A and B are shown apart, each in its own frame.
Chain A
Amino acid sequence: MSSLGTTLLKLALELELENMCTHHHNKNYTRRDFLTKTTLGMGALSMASMLDPIGLFANEQPLIRTPNDGGGILGKPHFPAKVKRVIYLFQSGAPSQLDLFDYKPLLNKMNGQDLPESVQQGQRLTGMSSGQASLPIAGSIFDFKQHGDSGAWMSDLMPHTSKIVDELCFIKSMYTEAINHDPAVTFLQTGSQLPGRPSIGSWVSYGLGTDNKNLPEFVVLVTKDKYGQPLYSRSWGNGFLPSQHQGVQFRAGKDPVLYLTNPPGVDGKSRREQLDHLQRLEQINHQDVGDPEILARMAQYEMAFRMQTSVPEIMDTSDESDYIYEMYGEDSRKPGTFAANCILARRLAERDVKFIQLYHQGWDQHGNLPNAIKVQCKETDQATAALITDLKRRGMLEDTLVIWGGEFGRTNYSQGQLTPDNFGRDHHPKCFTIFMAGAGIKKGFTFGATDDFGYNVVQNPVHVHDFQATLMHLLGVDHERLTFKFQGRRYRLTDVHGKVVKDILA
């Protein structure tokens, strides 16, 4: 009690001093914060001591200085983590689960018939197909087979991934709330359909900190020259978290990270000196204004300086052998492709980057699905399988988690005209499939199921927030306890929802 009293007194004095010295408003403590903390705090303490005078200080957690914590706000995970790092292969545009994983022979049997109202149950459709005179059921034209010891169903679109199904955990009962791309991507990445919240990778960086001080905790790789729905950089934004937690995009080409290299005529030494002086100035500025973003910016200057040597080392893949390129596929020799990014993802994971997110656009097949999806699969299938295989034989699946999936599913009926060899599929939030591989989850396992029409989830639904809660759980974080106070309220990735899907945990 007395030590707390002294702390509060000191705090009060410091505040008073600060107010006397400067006219700036210190954002770290407001008058209101101070009053709330002191009055409520004292009240609570005295009440507790009345009710349970002995127990109040008896059960304190042993004080442990967290060793080498990497600067995460949690210090150490809430519980031992199975996963140390995540590689998230985000398939932007929403791949058709019905043509890849979710085998529904009934759709072939009823091909061309109108989707029964009893299945659709008045659920909303997008404006793109709601005006259609009929919603003709479209069976997949691709050949489905069971693979591996686990007997997972896969279409022939992904021959390479089909070979490693015994490493994978499929969730066939994912569902989301959004029906259009940007809200759905934002929802999956930040837990909210409205922009402005931190991305999963930012939360991880904020909570757990870094394992490699020379690289950012959260790195983003986007396949180049892919189009379709726009992909905004706010998908990997830090939202209201301090800005050093935002994802850093590595690009293909001469300048992997923009503005990282020194301008011509400036060498490393003068850069260092410049930064040192800047540090001192910013320090003064921070003492004066107290804006935490100043610290964030200083941290980023320093990170950028270290990245001047660490990034070229990562991006220079000349030490990869030929058979690696063969394994990841022809594309992998071309920087900026999904396959090349998969190799980079492995290199980043080997250097303990915590959250590595790849984006591959172009899955939004409203029309011409059969041809377009073939292209998409050709670009991603081999490299995805190679990445998982490569991580596995290096023993990295011990503590690395790979996730593959889009932002929602696609409809079981055709958008536009259905012909024997061509159709399109509209957005479908009611069910979609993702798969994962690696640490902490069951392998050769399929969780959840949709109905025979592939329209609604009938078993073990997994909401986006449940998926996020599970992901955090695997990283050793209780999703309910990693919060950030912003605009008067505590926020978390899963908002006020989310249940860990324990059934898929190994």
Chain B
Amino acid sequence: MIPLEFTTFIGRFHPLFVHLPIGFLLLAILLEWYEKYTKTDSKSKLVPYAWFLGGISAAIAALCGWYLGETGLYREEDLFVHRWLGIALVVASFLGWYVKKNREKSSSLVQNGFNILLLGMLFVEGHKGGNLTHGDSYLTEYAPEPLQKLLGAEVGKDSLPEFSTPDSVQLYNDLVYPVFETKCIACHNDEVQRGGLNMATTEAFQVGGDNGPIVIAGNSLESELFHRITLPQRNIKFMPPTEETLTYDEIKVVEWWIEQGASFEDRIVSVAVTETIKPVLLRRYGLDTSPKPWYEMVQLPFLDSGTLTAIENQGFVVKSLGGDNPLLDIAYSGNDLTREQLNALENVKEYITWLSLAGTNVQDEWLSMVANFPNLTRLQLEKTTISDKGIQSIKGLEHLEALNLYGTRVSDSSLAIIGKLKELQRVYLWNTRVTLENAKRLEESKEGLEVVIGENF
């Protein structure tokens, strides 16, 4: 351990030395250019001297850097480039020293070529090193948003991780461990192990502290860890003993993790997302665990304007759902709808997710065309003469979530079909021939279906 610790000690001087070659070499190049600019005849000896200093300091920085890299705290692929470019920089500086010492021997093209080459190397190498230390987003994090976009940075990165979908999020690594890392691991790690507890690695974590394991899977109340973080703060055993106690959300995350089996591998999609943890996930991590509506899951290329205009020319009001969603919200109003017009929608049938034919003269027979719209989630047929016959033909709409039939001629015999629409969540039956009693029965028979018949008042 001792030799490694000593080299690490040396390695940590890297940030100190690394700035010296930047200064020396930059100064050397600027001095040379200044001479050229002022057209001085005598070539200053300072220029090669500065190159020499640059080379020496670069070598020292490289040596420290080599040891710092050995600590294993850096990403291998980034480190590789930075390390070898650094070595190349040392070599280039000494070559430069030689060239500058014998300036009369080579053309100004070679001279300037060396300058430019070295400037480029300095910039790239410096940037790579900065990224290694501070992270890729350090430079652009606070740049104005348009500039961030220009630089291709990820916009809007917060200190807390924001996950776009819950699918890939690991319960322990992404949610629980970061809590331990900020609040516990300072006193429970490989070096310091208060109470004999090391929480830095999963293996050590499972061993537990002086009194054995600190987590009992599935039982937060019996788990020493949970007990300690939820004691009254004045209790001597309360953890952590610093000002930095766990917040409500953090405690809830830890509790949830223990209750769900305290696994180190589980993704959050494979455990039960309880009602109490949902708002925490949403608030703290921006993780929306509620099921997404179908229209947000369909992926299709955007329609071209020609196709859209063609439908508009048939008298439909066509709207894009918004954002980068390609789906359409289509409506017709008026009493002059024809079968041919409805047929025109066939070309965009995958795109229609909301369709309103409310108040039109739509006929029962025409609904078989509507039944072909695979991604239809909302269908409005209210205030039409649609009857049970029409409803027969839409039973294949497997993603339909809302169906408005108020003010139509549908009756109780449609309820069986409505009840079989798999994803249906709301159906509106006010002012139809459906009886209150049967509507109630339908609602009770199908989980998650709300039947609105308007008996209030």
Contacts and interface: CB of A to CB of B under 8 A. Distances in A.
Interface of A: 44, 47-48, 51-52, 55-56, 61-62, 64-69, 76-81, 163-164, 211, 327, 386, 389, 392-395, 398, 476, 502-503
B227 interface: no
Contacts of A81: 321-322
A80 B296 contact: yes
B259 interface: no
Interface in B323-356: 323-325, 327-328
Nearest to B455: A393
B325 A395 contact: no
Interface stretch (B35-43, B199-207, B268-276, B312-320): B312-320
B283 A503 contact: yes
Interface stretch (B10-18, B90-98, B146-154, B414-422): B146-154
Contacts of A66: 320
28 contacts: A44-B150, A51-B150, A62-B302, A64-B305, A65-B305, A65-B308, A66-B320, A67-B309, A67-B328, A68-B318, A68-B319, A76-B320, A76-B321, A77-B321, A77-B322, A78-B323, A163-B456, A164-B456, A211-B317, A386-B457, A389-B456, A389-B457, A392-B454, A393-B453, A394-B430, A395-B380, A395-B406, A502-B283
Given A64-B305, A68-B317, A398-B378, A79 B454 contact: no
A502 B278 CA distance: 11
A438 to B, nearest CB: 12
Please classify the interface of chain A as helix (H, G, I), strand (E, B), loop, or mixed, using the class held by over half of its residues: loop
Given A47-B150, A80-B295, A386-B457, A395 B321 contact: no
Contacts of B456: 163-164, 389, 393
A502 B319 CA distance: 26
Contacts of A77: 321-323
A68 B426 CA distance: 28
Contacts of A164: 456
B304 to A, nearest CB: 8
Contacts of A51: 150-152
Contacts of A44: 146-147, 150
A78 B322 contact: yes
Nearest to A503: B279
Contacts of B454: 389, 392-393
A339 B34 CA distance: 84
Contacts of B226: none
A78 B382 CA distance: 29
Contact of B402 (A56, A394, A395): A395
Q: Most A CB atoms within 10 A — which of B295, B301, B456? A: B456
A395 B428 contact: yes
Given A80-B296, A502-B283, A503-B283, A395 B404 contact: yes
Contact of B452 (A47, A62, A386, A393): A393
B192 interface: no
B282 interface: yes
Given A80-B321, A394-B430, A67 B457 contact: no
A163 B455 CA distance: 12
Contacts of A47: 150
Contacts of B430: 393-394
A398 B457 contact: no
Contacts of A398: 378, 402, 404, 426
Given A80-B295, A80-B296, A476 B308 contact: no
A249 B430 CA distance: 32
B260 to A, nearest CB: 22
A76 B150 CA distance: 24
B380 A52 contact: no
A485 to B, nearest CB: 15
Interface string B405-449: 010000000000000000000101011000000000000000000
Given A51-B151, A65-B305, A327 B320 contact: no
A64 B318 contact: no
Contacts of B279: 503
A391 B148 CA distance: 45
A361 B202 CA distance: 63
Contacts of A394: 382, 404, 406, 428, 430
A67 B312 contact: yes
Nearest to B429: A393
Contact of A393 (B321, B380, B428): B428
A430 B413 CA distance: 55
Interface in B152-202: 152
A404 B311 CA distance: 39
A66 B319 CA distance: 7
Please classify the interface of chain B as helix (H, G, I), strand (E, B), loop, or mixed, using the class held by over half of its residues: mixed
Given A62-B302, A395-B406, A502-B283, A76 B428 contact: no
B214 to A, nearest CB: 31
B322 A76 contact: yes
Q: Most B CB atoms within 10 A — which of A64, A164, A503? A: A64
B426 A393 contact: no
A226 B303 CA distance: 52
A78 B323 CA distance: 4
A52 B282 CA distance: 35
Given A55-B152, A76-B320, 11 more contacts: A48-B150, A64-B302, A65-B308, A68-B317, A68-B318, A76-B322, A78-B322, A78-B323, A80-B327, A395-B380, A476-B323
A392 B404 contact: no
B432 to A, nearest CB: 11
Contacts of A211: 317
Contacts of A502: 282-283, 288
Q: Most A CB atoms within 10 A — which of B317, B382, B426, B457? A: B457
A309 B317 CA distance: 21
Nearest to A160: B457
A164 B150 CA distance: 51
Contacts of B318: 67-68
A51 B327 CA distance: 35
B327 to A, nearest CB: 8
Q: Most A CB atoms within 10 A — which of B282, B317, B322, B323? A: B322
Contacts of B320: 64, 66-67, 76
A450 B77 CA distance: 53
A67 B308 contact: yes
Nearest to A40: B146
Contacts of A61: 324
A48 B457 CA distance: 64
A104 B296 CA distance: 42
Contacts of B322: 76-81, 476
Interface string B212-247: 000000000000000000000000000000000000
Contacts of A389: 454, 456-457
A44 B454 CA distance: 59
A81 B327 CA distance: 12
A395 B452 contact: yes
A44 B148 CA distance: 11
Contacts of B452: 392-393, 395
A52 B320 CA distance: 32
A69 B329 CA distance: 12
B456 to A, nearest CB: 5
Interface string B271-301: 0000000010011000010000001100001
Interface string B35-69: 00000000000000000000000000000000000
